């Protein structure tokens, strides 16, 4: 059995209904159970007669019912907003206020201290009169609408809601998910929060082919032994995460092809993928494929994919994010045609319709290009040997003592040093003025820290102008990560300021 996102139907219903569809952090659900629960919950939602595009909030953390709720909203053509329970209550209240949603699907049994009209819990009961109301609901399958709203960090400190349409999800599934070649035998690892776009990708990949989705909660994620045990228990075949997340396990003695023979695909997104990570991963999983994805929440999930072959990994210091092609869903916006680097603009049907209640930002970032929706990412890139390479954020350009400096260029250069496994470069500012540049590194060197600093400084003197060399190097065993498993630059900055 599997789910068709185009027709919103379970298909091949007699095929393996007892197979596990969701291995949740709380309970497992078979495909047969999934069909029954999704159908019942979708009728419950329809009976509420929620106005079109009035969102339903889904709250929880890695429960099986969270996936059921998402699929029920898709099934009933209801806009939804996923909110993870790891978020502080004030952020949840802010999202409730922005959306004005009267309905909450609480996947956690504990009540949530927010003002809401009606809450649906996992033990809900569909009444006969509710089923009757739902049966009279008009099916508008051919009409596009906002399927979900994902809240991301906003520059003002307030989360901003990205509005993703059903048409955008269809475009993603056809253009990105299908070419990945997954099938019903695949078991998909899901550790990203459901409020993170990559998590929706895991769900689409698994349910559209009739596979199994394995949910891993934060408590398990923080325990390497339990995490790897769960992957082995379910014979996961597809690993999806940020590069920073897999780095946590690269040097675990049991993390290899012998112990995890089922793992055949590593799909990375969300941040830059270091060459060193690819090299170690290929040593441990010789037969697995490494796919580097690039995209933005404003473009549903991923917009580009490229498999990093042994040849690509060995011949490039920076890993590419796309192969140039005539049907590419992106282009580089350059100030001058002769510029090597440009800003990435994503184009196509998978582009969001804009930001919730923020017309000014929507008009600034979204536009039409050759009659197609387009989005200005703010990311920079360049083309070399028919490959697209990420070159940092446009807003990572700083000015120090009159010199314009790209922080990503410093990071990329430091990573060329043979003893550096990973690096992050940060500008310390007072107001809008940059005072100094700090680089945090993870090193494989055996010398003491002062000696390593001296060698690294000497290396950079041969590679960069003097004004681009960081004022200080901080050596760490590992980087701190935020809830989306990306390197937390805010924590790095705060820790430096407290200790220096």
Sequence-ordered list of residues with C-beta below 8 angstroms from that of 458, at least 6 positions apart, any chain: none
pLDDT tens for each residue of 189-207: 999 889 889 999 999 999 9
The pLDDT of residue 153 is 66
Measured distance CA(210)–CA(203) in Å, rounded: 11
Per-residue pLDDT at 156: 47
- Within 10 angstroms of residue 431's Cβ, the number of other Cβ atoms is 6
How long, in residues, is the chain? 500
Structure tokens at 60: 């929880």
Report whether pLDDT(404) > 80. no
The candidate with the shortest Cα–Cα distance to 5, out of 64, 62, 73, is 73
* Amino acid 485: pLDDT: 77
Compute how many other C-beta atoms are within 10 angstroms of the C-beta atom of residue 372.
11
Q: Are strands 9-11 and 20-23 parallel, antiparallel or unpaired?
A: unpaired
Q: Please, what sign has the CA dihedral across residues 120, 125, 130, 132?
A: positive
Report the pLDDT value the prediction gives residue 109, as an integer from 0 to 100: 75
How far is it, in rounded angstroms, from Cα 481 to Cα 488?
Answer: 5
What's the rounded Cα separation, in Å, for the pair 391 and 380?
5
Sheet (strand 420-430) strand order: 420-430, 433-443, 472-475
Quote the tokens at residue 199.
Answer: 């998590």
Alpha-carbon Rg of the chain, whole angstroms?
23
- CATH topology classification for 401-499: GMP Synthetase; Chain A, domain 3 (3.30.300)
What pTM does this model have? 0.85
For residue 432, pLDDT over 70 is answered with no
Q: Which one, of 320, 323, 318, 379, lies nearest residue 346 by Cα?
A: 379
Q: How far is CA 83 from CA 86, 197, 260, 415, in A?
A: 9, 12, 32, 36
Domains 2-241 and 401-499 share a fold: no
pLDDT at 154: 56
pLDDT in tens, 219-240: 999 899 999 999 999 999 999 9
What residues form DSSP beta bridges with 239?
Answer: 266
Q: Which residues contact 386 (CB under 8 A, 6 or more apart)?
A: 323, 324
> What pLDDT shows up at residue 144?
86
Q: How far is CA 191 from CA 221, 244, 259, 422, in A?
A: 7, 13, 20, 22
pLDDT digits over 96-147, tens only?
Answer: 999 999 999 999 877 888 888 899 999 999 888 888 888 877 777 668 899 9
Model confidence at 426, pLDDT cuts 50, 70, 90, reads very high
- Write out 73-140 in H/E/C secondary structure: HHHCCCCEEEEECCCCHHHHHHHHHHHCCCEEEECCCCCCCCCCCEEECCCCCCCHHHHHHHHCCCCC
pLDDT in tens, 247-267: 889 989 999 999 999 999 999
CA distance 60 to 121: 11
List the chain domain ranges: 2-241, 401-499
Beta-bridged to residue 241, according to DSSP, are: 268
Selection from 223, 315, 304, 233 nearest residue 268 by Cα: 304
For residues 245 and 255, what is the distance between their CA atoms, to the nearest angstrom?
A: 13
- Residue 368, judged by CB atoms within 10 A of its CB (0-12, 13-18, 19+), counts as exposed
384-389, Cβ contacts within 8 angstroms, sequence gap of 24 or more: 386/323, 386/324, 387/306, 387/312, 387/316, 387/320, 387/322, 387/323, 387/324, 388/294, 388/304, 388/320, 388/321, 388/322, 388/323, 388/324, 388/330, 389/316, 389/318, 389/319, 389/320, 389/321
| H or E element that contains 279 | helix 275-284
In degrees, rounded to 5, the angle at the alpha carbon of residue 296 between the alpha carbons of residues 153 and 162 is: 55
- Specify the DSSP element, H or E, that contains 369: strand 366-369
Question: Each residue of 292-331: pLDDT tens digit?
Answer: 999 999 999 999 999 999 999 999 989 999 999 888 899 9
pLDDT at 62 over 60: yes
- Helix residue ranges, H only, 141-266: 166-172, 197-209, 218-221, 224-234, 243-247
**CATH of region 2-241, choose from 3.40.50.12780, 3.40.50.150, 3.40.50.720, 3.10.290.10:** 3.40.50.12780
User: Stretch 170-175: mean pLDDT, rounded?
Assistant: 92
């Amino acid at each position: 059995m599997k789910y068709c996102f185009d027709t919103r139907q379970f298909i091949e219903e007699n095929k393996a209904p007892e197979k596990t569809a969701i291995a949740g952090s709380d309970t497992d659900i078979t495909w047969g159970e999934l069909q029954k629960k999704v159908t019942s919950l979708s009728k419950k939602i329809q009976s509420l007669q929620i106005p079109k595009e009035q969102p339903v909030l889904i709250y929880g953390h890695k429960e099986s019912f969270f996936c059921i709720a998402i699929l029920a909203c898709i099934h009933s053509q209801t806009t939804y907003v996923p909110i993870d329970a790891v978020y502080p209550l004030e952020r949840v209240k802010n999202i409730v206020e922005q959306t004005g949603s009267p309905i909450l699907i609480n996947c956690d049994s504990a009540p949530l201290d927010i003002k809401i009209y009606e809450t649906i819990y996992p033990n809900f009961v569909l009444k006969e009169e509710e089923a009757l109301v739902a049966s009279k609901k008009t099916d508008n399958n051919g009409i596009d609408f906002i399927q979900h709203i994902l809240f991301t960090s906003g520059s003002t400190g307030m989360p901003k809601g990205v509005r993703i349409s059903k048409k955008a999800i269809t475009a993603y599934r056809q253009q990105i998910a299908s070419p990945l070649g997954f099938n019903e035998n695949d078991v998909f690892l899901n550790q990203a929060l459901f409020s993170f776009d990559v998590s929706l990708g895991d769900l689409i990949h698994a349910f559209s082919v009739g596979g199994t989705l394995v949910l891993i909660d934060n408590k398990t994620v923080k325990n390497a032994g339990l995490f790897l045990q769960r992957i082995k228990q379910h014979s996961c075949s597809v690993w999806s995460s940020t590069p920073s997340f897999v780095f946590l396990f690269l040097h675990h003695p049991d993390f290899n092809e012998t112990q995890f023979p089922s793992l055949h695909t590593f799909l990375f997104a969300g941040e830059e993928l270091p060459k060193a990570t690819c090299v170690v991963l290929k040593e441990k999983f010789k037969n697995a494929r490494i796919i580097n994805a690039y995209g933005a929440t404003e473009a549903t999930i991923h917009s580009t994919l490229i498999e990093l072959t042994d040849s690509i990994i060995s011949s490039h210091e920076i890993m590419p994010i796309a192969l140039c092609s005539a049907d590419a869903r992106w282009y580089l916006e350059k100030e001058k045609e002769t510029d090597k680097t440009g800003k990435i603009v994503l184009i196509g049907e998978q582009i969001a319709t804009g930001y919730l209640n923020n017309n000014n930002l929507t008009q600034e970032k979204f536009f039409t290009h050759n009659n197609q929706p387009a989005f200005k990412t703010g990311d920079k890139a360049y083309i070399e040997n028919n490959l697209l390479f990420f070159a940092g954020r446009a807003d990572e350009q700083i000015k120090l003592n009159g010199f314009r400096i790209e922080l990503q260029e410093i990071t990329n250069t430091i990573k060329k040093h043979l003893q550096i496994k990973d690096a992050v470069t940060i500008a310390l500012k007072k107001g809008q003025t940059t005072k100094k540049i700090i680089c945090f590194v993870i090193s494989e060197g055996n010398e003491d820290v002062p000696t390593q600093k001296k060698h690294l400084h000497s290396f950079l003197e041969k590679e960069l102008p003097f004004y681009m060399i960081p004022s200080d190097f901080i050596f760490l065993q590992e980087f701190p990560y935020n809830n989306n498993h990306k390197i937390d630059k805010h924590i790095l900055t705060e820790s430096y300021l407290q200790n220096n």
